[in-house]
Amino acid sequence: MESQASMAPTPRALPYYVAFSQLLGLTVVAMTGAWLGLYRGGIAWESALQFNVHPLCMVIGLVFLQGDALLVYRVFRNEAKRATKILHGLLHVFAFIIALVGLVAVFDYHRKKGYPDLYSLHSWCGILVFVLYFAQWLVGFSFFLFPGASFSLRTRYRPLHIFFGAAIFLLSVGTALLGLKEALLFKLGTQYSTFEPEGVLANILGLLLASFAVAVVYILTRSDWKRPPQAEEQALSMDFKTLTEGDSPSSQ
Amino acid sequence: MESQASMAPTPRALPYYVAFSQLLGLTVVAMTGAWLGLYRGGIAWESALQFNVHPLCMVIGLVFLQGDALLVYRVFRNEAKRATKILHGLLHVFAFIIALVGLVAVFDYHRKKGYPDLYSLHSWCGILVFVLYFAQWLVGFSFFLFPGASFSLRTRYRPLHIFFGAAIFLLSVGTALLGLKEALLFKLGTQYSTFEPEGVLANILGLLLASFAVAVVYILTRSDWKRPPQAEEQALSMDFKTLTEGDSPSSQ
């Protein structure tokens, strides 16, 4: 159990790491836009450019916003738990809606062009991530925001929710890398090996995507940066501990 | 601080999860071999088949063995810490040597064929992973096995070593997925979209690679499965705590 009191000071280095992660995330979004604008003709819904809606929406939704949703509890350390939870849930809703637009864009584009769907590793991973993301949101909502779940159930589910949240985020980034690679090889083919500017830009974008993932998960997993429990939560958890002392799982 | 005594019993579910991760890992290695044997003509050093040495070595070294090296402290819970450390270090050395053979194979193959090197996102990620892996091994060796580093320095470096170990492992798996995708698109091209058996097999291999990574990192990060400190370590850390009480970082 943490021993910090409520209104604990923010760890000194945390804001710099958060700022750095945001810089990386925004650079990734801007660079995806630049790549699509400079080398893929930009974005539109009613033309061949509809495809380009897909990578942009996925990077904004399932990379940037999903990553930021994971950081909410590290950034808002002294706000009411319920408000922070709602923000966490809402960011995931926005991410989900934007990703849904991106998904519709690519299926609609394939349908218009007569291309087959869901044959590649990128698409298999993508569908898996999307379904897991939706399931995790539903389960998270019913355990943590819906008033039914008991304190003991929440305590037991929390580590699983955090682990699968991070895993789904990393799978999303991995899927984005596969998609980027696919888009490059489809268009550039053997030209990719001549260090075409588009290839180099996209490679750098890939490394930045991976760096954003590393930065977010580092902030998330650093144990001394975890959100300190607030006065009322601590009281509640002490009550619970007293009630169940003896058969409660070791809280490490 | 953990409160378990030494010779603590192994958590009930842990062996099943470890067995499942090994089943996944071995399936991944076998399936990589099957893919190369069935669809790529098998493996040899002195012919065009030299390329095939690369994916097999990388999957055995930087995926399977690297993953297993991370699990050593969860599996050998009551053995002497030093013996477990040496096993951890040795598994990483084997992984590194096998990966080095895989790396030489692809550079040598490119040289013989006159193909350019290091232009793709896969190759950039691969070189990055390889350099980070080597650096992490060197730093880990000098902090934890070489007798020079103080207890306080080890304690401070340990969480970073664990985080970067997991990050490098996940980057390795991500790089393998990018390589698999590259190999498929280079050979199958538009045939990939007709659900060719090779494409389907490789997609399943990709999903299993990702599942192995999730299983290993799950076992690694579950806090109640961490290795309990042994009697002599506990005594040492208590001494240290007594000496530094007051300015030691919260161990949470």
Determine, yes or no, domain membership for A118: yes
CATH assignment at residue B147: 1.20.120.1770
Q: Show the tokens assigned to B173.
A: 């798996």
- Which chain B residues are within 8 Å of A214, Cβ to Cβ? 167
Q: Name which of B200, B171, B220 is nearest B58 in CA terms.
A: B171
Domain boundaries, position A111 = 14-224
CA distance linking residue B53 with residue B42, whole number of Å: 9
Nearest CA in chain B to A123: B203
pLDDT at A252: 36
Nearest CA in chain B to A193: B119
Determine, yes or no, domain membership for B35: yes
Q: Could you report the per-residue pLDDT of B1-41, keeping only the tens digit for each?
A: 444 445 678 999 999 999 999 999 999 999 999 999 999 99
Is the pLDDT score of B248 beyond 50? no
Determine, yes or no, domain membership for A245: no
Q: Would you call B166 helix, strand, or coil by DSSP?
A: helix
Nearest CA in chain A to B167: A214
Confidence of residue A232 (pLDDT cuts 50, 70, 90): low
> What is the domain count for chain A?
1
- Which chain A residues are within 8 Å of B181, Cβ to Cβ? 120-122, 178, 181-182, 185
pLDDT at B230: 74
CA distance linking residue A168 with residue A165, whole number of Å: 5
HSE-CB of B11 using CA atoms within 13 angstroms: 18
Q: B125 vs A192: CB contact, 8 Å cut-off?
A: no
Confidence of residue B148 (pLDDT cuts 50, 70, 90): confident
Average pLDDT of chain B to the nearest whole number: 91
Average pLDDT over residues A64-77: 97
Determine, yes or no, domain membership for B234: no
Q: CA distances (Å), B228 to each of A69, B69, B89, B197, in order?
A: 33, 18, 20, 47
Determine, yes or no, domain membership for A130: yes
Confidence of residue B149 (pLDDT cuts 50, 70, 90): confident
* H-helix or E-strand spanning residue A22: helix A14-39
Q: Could you report the per-residue pLDDT of A169-220, keeping only the tens digit for each?
A: 999 999 999 999 999 999 998 899 999 999 999 999 999 999 999 999 999 9
Confidence of residue A102 (pLDDT cuts 50, 70, 90): very high
Determine, yes or no, domain membership for B4: no
Q: A121 vs B252: CB contact, 8 Å cut-off?
A: no
Determine, yes or no, domain membership for B66: yes
Q: A120 vs B192: CB contact, 8 Å cut-off?
A: yes
pLDDT at B233: 66
Average pLDDT over residues B216-237: 82
Determine, yes or no, domain membership for A74: yes
- Which chain B residues are within 8 Å of A122, Cβ to Cβ? 181
CA distance linking residue A203 with residue B131, whole number of Å: 18
- Which chain B residues are within 8 Å of A125, Cβ to Cβ? 206-207, 210
Between chain A and chain B, the number of residue pairs with CB atoms below 8 A apart is 117
Q: A207 vs B128: CB contact, 8 Å cut-off?
A: yes
Q: Would you call B47 helix, strand, or coil by DSSP?
A: coil
Q: B159 vs A250: CB contact, 8 Å cut-off?
A: no
Provide ipTM, 2 decimals. Answer: 0.91
Q: CA distances (Å), B60 to each of A90, A163, B31, B138, in order?
A: 42, 26, 11, 21
- For chain B, what percent of residues have pLDDT higher than 70? 88
